[in-house]
Structure 1
Amino acid sequence: MYKGKEPTLVILAAGLGTRFGGNKQIAVLPDFNCTIMELSIQDAFAAGVRHLVLVINRQVRPLIEQQILPRLPADLLVDLVEQAVDNLPSRFVSKAQSREKPWGTGHALLCAKPFIPGDAIVITADDYYGPDAFKQLVNHFAAAEQNDMAIVGYPLAQTLSSQGGVNRGICQTHKDSLLEVVEYLDIQQTGDTLSGLAPDGKRVALPEAALASMTCWGITQSLLTQLERGFCEFLESYDSDVKSEYYLPDCIQSCIQQGLIQVRVHSASERWFGITYKEELKSVSGLLYELRHG
């Protein structure tokens, strides 16, 4: 078990990537000869992180062990964790019999829980966050009080896609603290106007500087305790005919509303990049190379 003071980096990399047409988490960026998550690992390591928990699906384990792990820093402690459908509390194991897809991001983080000794930075494998995001979160935990979590939000205008409208969770804040993340659908830029569909279905204007949640969290042990409790409640009411998922943001929102945690909002100083479709791999790789190497 890792015993360092720095936060653990947890990367959620077990998603099936159906729109991408395969495991996009292990797709190699042509300009780097490495995956996008390896850039995040490099940036986190440079910020002081020395422990990585990688949540994967078991099909890609051999490839990760043979190709990706040898490229990582030698003094980075790595734990590989498989997000298996049947990785459930014993009384709920029967719920997995008719289940094929993973249980969602909340369950993925719970699979990593036994390997997380303290605070953690949680990201997804197919998103690029930039070096400063990790510096901000490491600095946050160095100064934070107990149960003081964090999120790095990205200016909405910098998270759009040339492929069409996008769905984004927009951070609603009060004095740098997160109140809630509100989901807006089909966000588009039309001329100088940015707009999206609000929860009531109406299209509303959105400020370009609004901060979008791109799954870049700083979490504490208290959240993991609540996550476990919430997942059991989810499974209690789970209907095997419904392929619903247990989402990390839903648990965080519930904890905020109950006053169990406070989430400090940090604004990203660098661009976010994401890969949804294979066609985007080459263009994103080129943009990242220019950004990181000038």
Structure 2
Amino acid sequence: MYTGKEPTLVILAAGLGKRFGGNKQVAVLPDFNCTIMELSIQDAHAAGIRHVVLVINQQVRPLIEQEILPRLSCELQVELVEQAIMDVPPRFNGKAQLRQKPWGTGHALLCAKPHIPGTAIVITADDYYGPGAFKQLVCHFAEPEQSDMAIVGYPLEQTLSHQGGVNRGICQTHNGWLTEVVEYLDIQRGAEGLSGNSPEGGRVILPTTALASMTCWGVTQRLLTQLEVEFCRFIENYDSDVKSEYYLPDCIQSCMQQGLLRVRVHRACDRWFGITYKEELKRVSGLLYELRHG
């Protein structure tokens, strides 16, 4: 039973999955007959989570209600929240009417804000984080008078793709605290180790100890309050072709720079798996089955 004391699990599942060719958040893993987010919900439930908020798009609601929700534990309180383009402060309705794609992950979490009574663990639907991540974040918030946020970072070398280079936000840390997330592009393994294109454009060697941010956050009400402030500022300044997105890491970065919050970094104890293309579904399913049942 949900008591309101433990964190809420928020799953961002409203993406359109263009590279996947459909709604990958509801793609079934052939070895499990369920989705990746259901495995995450199972892991979160085992860690003590009893409240789940799924941020979805309108297209997937019927499938989630008819097929996924009946498979979840009856101990869970599950809420569905639709991320809609028109879900903006009234003064921005005109700009929203010109838009065709979702506002981004920051807006997705903002849509869930009314349903989060306290702290929250925020993940994406198409990434597998392992049971350890949920235990780490539940323990983080179980500390007395804990007011800091948290992130679970994954060893960069374990987040590479067989399909080619990847883009990753690399956690910059100091004494266990997050100072910045820096985006590196086209990261690949070569003769000299891991390398990627820096924000300045040059090719640089990346340390094997680097931790990648894979959207596994422990967030507080302070961030949720600031999300709305930052989102309004974003809409007032976004580009004229209405394609810019309001990303959650950008808001967190802004809050850190303003001294509004701190983020403790936890090193992941499990492997991360993600799916970008349909061709990866069977391979990832097999690896996860071996990992969970091997």
Q: How does 1:241-252 map to 2 (within 5 A)?
A: 241-252=241-252
Q: Which stretch shows the higher mean deviation, 53-62 or 201-210?
A: 201-210
Q: Which residue of 2 aligns with 1:86?
A: 86
Q: Which stretch shows the higher mean deviation, 170-179 or 234-243?
A: 234-243
Percent identity (aligned):
79
Q: Which residue of 1 aligns with 2:77?
A: 77
CA contact (8 A) 1:95 1:240 kept: no
Q: Which residue of 1 aligns with 2:234?
A: 234
CA contact (8 A) 2:55 2:112 kept: yes
- In structure 2, do the counterparts of structure 1 residues 136 and 65 end up closer, same or farther at CA, with 3 Å as the change threshold? same
Q: Which residue of 2 aligns with 1:222?
A: 222
- In structure 2, do the counterparts of structure 1 residues 265 and 144 end up closer, same or farther at CA, with 3 Å as the change threshold? farther
AA aligned opposite 1:286: G
Separation in structure 2 between the aligned mates of residue 146 and residue 101 of structure 1, nearest angstrom: 36
Task: Give 1:144 deviation, angstroms.
Answer: 5.7
Q: Which residue of 1 aligns with 2:20?
A: 20
Q: Which residue of 2 aligns with 1:172?
A: 172
Separation in structure 2 between the aligned mates of residue 47 and residue 149 of structure 1, nearest angstrom: 18
AA aligned opposite 2:283: S
Separation in structure 2 between the aligned mates of residue 134 and residue 22 of structure 1, nearest angstrom: 28
CA contact (8 A) 1:3 1:117 kept: no
Q: Which stretch shows the higher mean deviation, 230-239 or 101-110?
A: 230-239
Task: Give 1:146 deviation, angstroms.
Answer: 4.4
* Unaligned ranges ≥5, structure 1: none
Which whole-Å deviations, capped at 9, do the CAs of 1:201-251 have from their partners, x for residues lacking one? 111111122100000000000000111000011111234523001000000
RMSD: 1.0
Task: Give 1:147 deviation, angstroms.
Answer: 3.1
CA contact (8 A) 2:98 2:242 kept: no
Match of 2:140, SS state, is helix
Which whole-Å deviations, capped at 9, do the CAs of 1:109-149 have from their partners, x for residues lacking one? 00000000000000000000000000000000001644300
Separation in structure 1 between the aligned mates of residue 192 and residue 279 of structure 2, nearest angstrom: 27
CA contact (8 A) 2:81 2:111 kept: yes
TM-score by length of 1: 0.98
CA contact (8 A) 1:234 1:246 kept: yes
* Unaligned ranges ≥5, structure 2: none
Which whole-Å deviations, capped at 9, do the CAs of 1:69-128 have from their partners, x for residues lacking one? 000000100110000000111111111111111000000000000000000000000000
Q: Which residue of 1 aligns with 2:49?
A: 49
Aligned residues between the structures? 293
Q: Which residue of 1 aligns with 2:32?
A: 32
AA aligned opposite 2:217: W
Separation in structure 1 between the aligned mates of residue 208 and residue 280 of structure 2, nearest angstrom: 23
Q: Which residue of 2 aligns with 1:213?
A: 213
Separation in structure 2 between the aligned mates of residue 128 and residue 238 of structure 1, nearest angstrom: 32
- In structure 2, do the counterparts of structure 1 residues 242 and 144 end up closer, same or farther at CA, with 3 Å as the change threshold? farther
- Tell me if 1:61 matches 2:61: yes
- Tell me if 1:140 matches 2:131: no
TM-score by length of 2: 0.98
Task: Give 1:254 deviation, angstroms.
Answer: 0.6
- In structure 2, do the counterparts of structure 1 residues 146 and 136 end up closer, same or farther at CA, with 3 Å as the change threshold? closer
- In structure 2, do the counterparts of structure 1 residues 128 and 258 end up closer, same or farther at CA, with 3 Å as the change threshold? same
CA contact (8 A) 2:4 2:118 kept: no
AA aligned opposite 1:293: H
